[in-house]
Chain A
């Protein structure tokens, strides 16, 4: 073994001593990912099912009841309350006892039979714009399909028996047929957790030595800067991979997210991602003077924007053009595409090489930038 490698090993051993001595730190870096995945996996759900519906049916005919049944037989709405006056329905929505109110005025059934337009009203609380727009879109679809079937019935009474053309959509959902949001969110959490843990550990680990003054001591030893960096980063890389394994296990076995693609590929590409996060951690440590600063920088300049702009929960295609351009320099964006692609679509390197190249490029760039800054601070 060469002297250089031995030097690195010494530092690695020192790091492990330090990690072992700070038991709480170790527990946190193993427990935190599990907790985060469990929490995020359950909480980050965009499924909107079983919304409470309050019905005000002032018509009370077979037709109006059939119309209401179109709502209550979907998984989206539960017909929980029935009221007699529209004002009461308003009250349910206002007090948030119901998510949506359906008001059917008297004469609904008569108009349907007479081939006249019948009025229907829904009331929604728009405060939560997302929930409201999803519910509104469900309601619109139900009303549209009811309208279609009414018209289909009309043709039979038309004289001459002319047929009426229709276009019928047949949806097929690939990769996640039940549209479970956990299948989408949980693989994303894997990426997020990996980023938070490795970046935090790296930046804090180095800044702490700066604060205590031991970095000065290391500098006056014959250890070269690259050996120091390698020695400090290797243990964090190892912890990073252990976290990947734990988090993947939770995703696969607890949340039962199907892993269609290759596990070794996932680990390999995780390595590329860790290259970028360790680089960013190192970079932060060269700017920050204290651990408090390091954390503020990491949190506000990296975690927050990454979380919002990587496509973790908000689709990138929705963002304004200028901001879409910014997302290209966010490593998490590429890793999310990789993790989700491998998990759900069984994508291989043939599909994912652009993302892998982007990660490699970003990783090398960030890393060399961080290392050169780090050398300067040491010099």
Chain B
């Protein structure tokens, strides 16, 4: 053990010194998580609010105004334009100044007073499918709400109390207020780890190759395994610090609590860091230039962990081929564990398959890297 430590010490010290001499990169590795969490926590909200709204009221009566007031008061819409033709609406849509428009026909009040159906048009700019779908849903909901009130009034006129046919009770588990940051911040940990660990490791090794200093390390009495451990330990430490920073900031700023076991959480964080370091090493054994190493890192770590892991887009919605492919993103399994432990408070028995996968991934990438490096040195 002491012999091992003595052999490793110089290279770890060397690597730390190199990182320290490059304070810009170190600063970035540590400032980044803080910047990302603020960005994700404050700027990103799935809930579609403040959709810019245009109104075309052909009726212009107290009744039509009362109906439109529902939209104007709602935080889901920002009332921007009062238009007088369809062409005006189209123009606002084309310029992207309005995304939804409500058109009230001339006959609106007349129909309502006669006790008939009044039809209102809800025009939506469908180009952003997600926003459009949600805004449309809200508009239909507001209309139904308004309509129910009319019905209740009609009942009241007949001397009967109005009633709601259905008492609808949604129960939402784990995140009852549906706060996006509770979903995104646990995912952010995995994303940042994969980003820093894979990219930094692959680039630091390839840089030594580019400069020829790798050869020098190879001819030293150090064994490849020792070189690998020595070179990766500093990044393991940095990643752990970054993950801890996110946990603390997430709790302080956004009240994202850890319901489950902290030990289990750190076991998962440790496992994925080792896997990510392994992936970075593996990339460095395939390529000789930092440019290529970076491109491969981006393709194999950044994109999959952003897109395929379920960090933002649910895996279940993807085509089957991509669902199969998503298994290559180790982050996908990490996300299940982290969200389970942090939001649901599950124990090891619920997430052991994901743990197993992460462990296998780490062992495989590290193992192949060591073998490939040994071949080079032979």
Contacts and interface: CB of A to CB of B under 8 A. Distances in A.
Q: Do A and B interact with each other, yes or no?
A: yes
Interface of A: 22, 24-25, 28-29, 32, 35-36, 39-40, 42-49, 93-94, 99, 112, 115-134, 136-141, 143-148, 150-151, 158, 160, 162-181, 183-184, 196, 200, 204, 208, 211, 289-293, 295-297, 299-300, 304-305, 308-309, 313-315, 317-320, 323, 337, 340-341, 344-345, 347, 351
Contact of A117 (B35, B50, B163): B163
Contact of A292 (B124, B203, B302, B344): B203
B167 A120 contact: yes
A173 B39 contact: no
B157 A122 contact: no
- B interface SS class: helix
Interface of B: 22, 24-25, 28-29, 32, 35-36, 39-40, 42-52, 67, 78, 90, 93-96, 99, 111-134, 136-141, 143-148, 150-151, 154-155, 157-158, 160, 163-176, 178-180, 182-183, 195, 199-200, 203-204, 207, 210, 287, 289-292, 294-296, 298-299, 302-304, 307-308, 312-314, 316-319, 321-322, 326, 339, 343-344
A292 B118 contact: no
A165 B112 contact: yes
Given A130-B314, A323-B43, 19 more contacts: A43-B326, A46-B130, A46-B313, A49-B317, A123-B170, A124-B172, A125-B174, A127-B182, A127-B343, A133-B178, A134-B134, A138-B137, A164-B115, A165-B115, A168-B117, A181-B129, A200-B295, A315-B51, A340-B128
6 contacts: A24-B287, A46-B317, A118-B167, A119-B166, A292-B290, A347-B94
Contacts of B289: 22, 24-25
A-B pairs, top 10 by smallest CB distance, nearest first, are: A163-B115, A126-B175, A176-B126, A130-B46, A144-B144, A46-B130, A173-B126, A43-B307, A150-B165, A126-B172
Contact of B127 (A138, A183, A323): A183
B183 A170 contact: no
A172 B145 CA distance: 20
B171 A121 contact: yes
A112 to B, nearest CB: 7
Contact of A317 (B78, B124, B164, B172): B78
B147 A124 contact: no
Contact of A313 (B160, B183, B312): B312
- A interface SS class: helix
Contacts of A174: 90, 93, 123-126
A341 B122 contact: no
B199 A42 contact: no
B91 to A, nearest CB: 8
A167 B143 contact: yes
Contact of A39 (B22, B25, B138, B308): B308
Contacts of A208: 290-291
B67 A181 contact: no
Contacts of B35: 300
B290 A291 contact: yes
Nearest to A130: B46
Given A173-B132, A173-B136, A117 B167 contact: yes
A296 B132 contact: no
B127 A345 contact: yes
A171 B123 CA distance: 6
